[in-house]
Structure 1
């Protein structure tokens, strides 16, 4: 599930909802819905999130771990 990967990477990177929501141009409520898997972000927003978390979109969606972990 997307939200499990999003939560994992945000916690690992110490990111806050407000910061990434602002980067994506969405409300914190919308971003919260993404984290709770009530809705899914558009691909462009997923790319922004992945870039900010210093991961690939595949890692964000599929949960692939970093090398060496």
Structure 2
């Protein structure tokens, strides 16, 4: 599984610290989510999906193997 939070934030021209502030979490916590050190809980994932305008499923996507 590959974390897509950083990608989605950059694609929308947003800043991690602004999203962290809106969610009421520390910048360190949010950074950990973006680096896949820790994961947001279910409620945090829901809040994040709403802020980014994507379904929760889009926050984490399976990597696809290239079989040729």
Report the TM-score range of the alignment, normalised by the length of the smaller protein.
0.7 to 0.9
- In structure 2, distance between residues paired with 1:11 and 1:45: 19
Give aligned pairs, total.
61
Q: Which has the higher contact order (CA 8 A, sep 6+)?
A: 2
Between Structure 1 and Structure 2, the one with more helix by share is 1
Between Structure 1 and Structure 2, the one with more strand by share is 2
TM-score by length of 2: 0.80
TM-score by length of 1: 0.79
Which protein shows a greater Rg?
2
CA RMSD, 1 decimal: 1.3
Runs of 4 or more, structure 1, over 4 Å off, are: none
